[in-house]
Amino acid sequence: MNIENYNVNSPIFKPTLFFNRFCVSFFSTTATTTTIQVMDSIAETQRTLYPYVTGSSVVAIKYKDGILMAADMGGSYGSTLRYKSVERVKPIGKHSLLGASGEISDFQEILRYLDELILNDNMWDDGNSLGPKEVHNYLTRMMYNRRNKFNPLWNSLVLGGVKNGQKYLGTVNMIGMSFEDNHVATGLGNHLARPILRDEWHENLTFEEAVRLLEKCMRVLLYRDRSAVNKIQISKITEEGSTVYAPFSLKTYWDFSAFKNPTAGAEGSW
């Protein structure tokens, strides 16, 4: 049967033509609306093009019984120390401790990702739980994935923990570069604290010795880092679990001659 012999104006074809026109009209309208909605959502969801509220250095070390981590509680809005009670060290699951420098809002987003990860792991209810090495690997892949999308999370992270008697300490930066070591630091601590740790750290540090070593590092950072604030929080994690201690202030000494007259020997330069 040849369709050319049929009259397209016949009533038989009119419902079909009406249906086709209705579909084209409906889907065209829907597509336009969807495009507008998509464009609206793109306009509303903006990427972190540059960090706004940031935290400074995090310093962490292995000691005899586990991991110790220290960070100040300052949050800088540009060069202004806007917030002075920002907690940047958080327990993750049963075996891990996470510290972050960089953009605070991105750190909060990372914590949401990790909450979902830990919740999904707990739902298996198989008696096993994610250890610090697994969480560190997850963070490394996540940071590298976001970097490849040109939408990085502007943080440097420190992940430490203890599981089955094994101590683990590692770091990962905003482009996904990671490594494991006996002591790590982020931000300016990478340049000022780690030389101290290389000279004075050893694997048999007691808790008291490790705290004094971290306090020494944080005091140097307080003297030299304009983004640091004298409100320090130290956290530890051992086989028994994690403990986040109350913040405290360091004893400081500002009567050094270099502090009294910082331009000595450089008259006329500025």
- Name the active-site residue from 16, 45, 48, 243: 48
**CA distances from residue 254 to 219, 224, 258, 262 in whole angstroms, order as listed:** 11, 12, 9, 12
- Say which residues have a Cβ less than 8 Å from residue 127's Cβ, sequence separation at least 6: none
Cβ–Cβ < 8 Å for 176, 144: yes
Residue 248 is given by DSSP the state: B
Cβ–Cβ < 8 Å for 161, 97: yes
Half-sphere exposure of residue 130, counting CA atoms within 13 Å on the CB side? Answer: 26
Query: Which element (helix H / strand E) includes 211?
Result: helix 207-224
Tell me the C-alpha distance between 268 and 195, whole Å: 33
Is 252 considered catalytic here? Answer: no
Give the residue from 171, 149, 54 showing the smallest Cα distance to 106.
Answer: 54
CA angle, residues 197, 227, 145, in degrees to nearest 5? 75
Query: Which element (helix H / strand E) includes 96?
Result: strand 96-103
Catalytic residues: 48
